[in-house]
Amino acid sequence: MEYQFIDDPITGAAMAKFSLEHEVIGPWLEVEVGTSAEKLQQLLSAISDIEQEKQTEITITGNEYSAVFNRGDVTIQTNASMDGLEVLPDGLIEENIDFDQQDSAACGSEDLREILLSWATFIRKY
């Protein structure tokens, strides 16, 4: 998985850019995690709880995105895709274009832990 953290050239805010198949993780980090140490700790604790088999699944629902933690992997998805409320225009449906990869992304829990720790280091300057 390729990603980079950058400063927005206009606002100076922290931004996260991910490769296409993991693209949704970037806005999730920016919107749901942001610069909150509390949110970072909650997510890292969820990974630990799943690894230690304290729980089999944990869902952390944010304003726009949710993270679903299972044994060994994590899925980040838009809340609209979870609710099934997102409706594509007829023209796009007819074209058979697959938009699912933009609504969710899955990665290993160790990969997400590394991403979160890297994000924590990057946002310390804010």
Q: How many domains does the chain have?
A: 1
81 phi and psi angles, rounded to 5 deg = -70, -30
pLDDT along the chain (126 residues), means of 10: 95 95 97 96 98 96 97 94 54 47 88 97 85
Look at residue 83 in the predicted model and tell me its pLDDT: 55
Domain presence at residue 97: no
Has residue 94 been placed in a domain? Answer: no
95 located within any domain = no
33 lies in which domain range? 3-88+103-123
Please give the C-alpha separations between residue 31 and each of 13, 16, 69, 100, 101, in angstroms, as whole numbers: 11, 10, 18, 20, 19
44 in a structural domain: yes
